[in-house]
Structure formats: structure tokens, C-alpha cells
Amino acid sequence: MSSRHEIHEEFNGEFLESSCGKGGFKMDYVLTTQALSKHYGQFKALNGLSLHVPQGAIYGFVGKNGAGKTTLIRLVCGLQRPTSGDYSLYGVSSRTREIVKSRRRMGAVVETPSIYLEMTAWENLREQYRVLGLPSFEGIPELLELVGLAEAGQKKAKNFSLGMKQRLGIAVALCGDPDFLVLDEPVNGLDPQGIIEMRELILKLNREQRVTVLISSHILDELARLATHYGFIDGGRMVKEISAGELEEACRKCLRVEVSSTETLARVLDGLQLDYKILSQRRADVFAKVNISQLTLALAREGCEVISVQERDESLESYYLSIVGGGSHG
């Protein structure tokens, strides 16, 4: 695991941009999709999906059950072919022969870990090394150490906890030293300790090993502890892509104020040097601790009536539901 494909210059804690000459900057993407579709008869599992996973990101892929998340992952891994559209790995189109070489730079755990239960952890990694045609097994102890299984290397996988099996599955996916890891519901069914261990492993891979990670998950509160970027999918289409910084801005605590005139409200808030966002002619969000009585009096002096005031602190889940709609998500 010591060698890594070159990663671009770190920027504000993330390593997402590289120079494209004197003209400025461009974003480097590990995975992009262009109007990607996958149909099963009349059912459209993916319907013109466009997605962008920046290099160095932990990309949270969020959607309801049946939204198309696992279908996308299976397409990218080469397990199925798209009905139409295209995707690119490291800028290489899936329609070219070179996509096979690009896929060697990725590892994946799709639906359930691909492990042999009657084999030990060490033997599972040895088998994957053989499948990949790697010349020696000397990297196996380091891999087991990386995923926290160094003390369980000679233990049969059938005796592992679910969390240990998930981490062994990730170790198998990391054979061959990929720098892009795709995880389909990696904390599904884990107990709290297992969730913490999985979170720490993903963060370690991203920060120390510089692995870009795409995570499909329905545990949104946990995803919020990890992701640097999000893609919200519904009905096989991308509803919104957003960075963690943009999401934090959208979800930060505020006062939702309804008044008779936001033009007057803006003038008063400017005078008080408070941060705000006008939403309509009657509504605005105020991002500061506000003395409601003083604000009401100040507005009254300007002939502006306060109709309602609500405290808002939107979570990832409530934000997701606001853009996709209610119902089960997974």
C-alpha cells in the first residue's frame, strides 16, 4: 500500500483541484457519468444520470430504495452494461478498451463482501492477489494491519463479526493498491462499535492513503460525518450535487422570519450588521443570534410587521427530504 498514484495538490484540507495552466483551475474527476441510463424492460433504474466524483473526495451517494444507487455501482464496476449514455473513469470512456485499465485503479464492495467464509483473512487476500496476478504476497500483512485485522489474520472468516467481514471485504477490494474505492452500504447492519470502526477506516484511507471513496448509504447522520461531497438521486436521475461546505451553508442554524416587507427587513439587518438571506418578498433567513423584541421594534419603527419567526436547524436528512420528497430512503 506504500505506492500511490499521484494525487494533486492539497487545497483547504481537500485535494480536489489542479492547475490547468495560466488560465486558472479545473476540477479533476475520478468518475463522471453522462446521461447514463439502464433499463430493465419498462423499468428505468437509471434515467439520464449525470454524476461527478472529484478526486480526493468522500462522495456520499444518497437516494431512496430503488433510486438506482446499486445499479450505478454495478455499471461502473463492469458487472452490467448501460442501456444508453456513458461513464468515464479517470477521463477514460467506458466505450473504449482502455476502461479495463482504468478499472484496475478501483476497488469495490458491492452489496455484500466478496469473501470465502471457510478461509482465513490471510487466505482470502492471498486468493485475491492470485486473481490479480500480483507477484508476491508481501503486502498482505500491511493490508490486514490497515483494516484492523492484523490479530485475526489466521482466523476463519466464518467466525468474524459482521463488522470484521465488512473490513475484510474492503481489504480484498484494496488488493492491487487502487486509489478509488466504491462501497455499497458499508455500515448496513453494523452495531455502533462496528459503525465507528468503519468510519475511522474510511477516513484513514481517504486522508492517509489518498483514496477517493464513493459511498452509497441510507444512514444519513453517519454519512454526514464522512462525506466531502453529496449526490442526491431520485427515480434514476440526479436531483442535486453539493459539497459538504455548500450543504453546511444550506443547513446552518437560522431564524426563518416572515415579514410584510423583506426590503425593509434587509435595510434594518444591514444596519445591525447581521448575516441574512432573502428568500422571497415576505420571507428571509437570519444567520445570527437575534433579540426578537429589539428586531420587532426596529422593524415596527420602519412600518414593517413581523408575521412569524421560526428557529431552523436543518439536518442532512431533512435537507434530503426537502429536495427529494418523503418516503423510505436507502
Which CATH number is 102's domain given? 3.40.50.300
Which CATH number is 257's domain given? 3.30.70.100
Element of type H or E holding 101:
helix 99-103
Q: Angle, to 10 degrees, between the axis of helix 121-132 and the axis of helix 162-174?
A: 30
Give pairs for 249-254: CB < 8 Å, separation 24+. Answer: 250/314, 250/319, 251/313, 251/314, 251/315, 251/316, 251/318, 251/319, 252/287, 253/287, 253/311, 253/312, 253/313, 254/285, 254/286, 254/287, 254/311, 254/312, 254/313
Do residue 263 and residue 228 come from a single domain? no
Task: Indicate the residue among 247, 270, 291 that finishes a domain.
Answer: 247
Do residue 157 and residue 40 come from a single domain? yes
Mean pLDDT of the chain, nearest integer: 87
* pLDDT higher than threshold 60 for residue 225: yes
- Enclosing domain of residue 92: 17-247
Please give the tally of structural domains in the chain.
Answer: 2
Do residue 216 and residue 72 come from a single domain? yes
Identify whether the C-beta of residue 179 lies closer than 8 Å to the C-beta of residue 107.
Answer: no
pLDDT exceeding 90 applies to what percent of the chain? 67
Task: Indicate the residue among 229, 247, 265 that finishes a domain.
Answer: 247
Tell me if 232 is assigned to some domain.
yes
* DSSP single-letter state for residue 326: S
Do residue 198 and residue 239 come from a single domain? yes
* The overall pTM is greater than 0.85: no
Which pLDDT band holds residue 217 (cuts at 50, 70, 90)? confident
Do residue 231 and residue 275 come from a single domain? no
pLDDT digits (tens, 9 = 90+) for 247-278: 887 777 788 999 999 999 999 999 988 889 89
The rounded distance, in Å, linking the Cα atoms of 231 and 241 is 4
Do residue 140 and residue 203 come from a single domain? yes
Tell me if 8 is assigned to some domain.
no
Do residue 279 and residue 225 come from a single domain? no
The rounded distance, in Å, linking the Cα atoms of 248 and 242 is 10
Which residues, in sequence order, are CB contacts of 74 under 8 Å at separation 6+?
80, 110
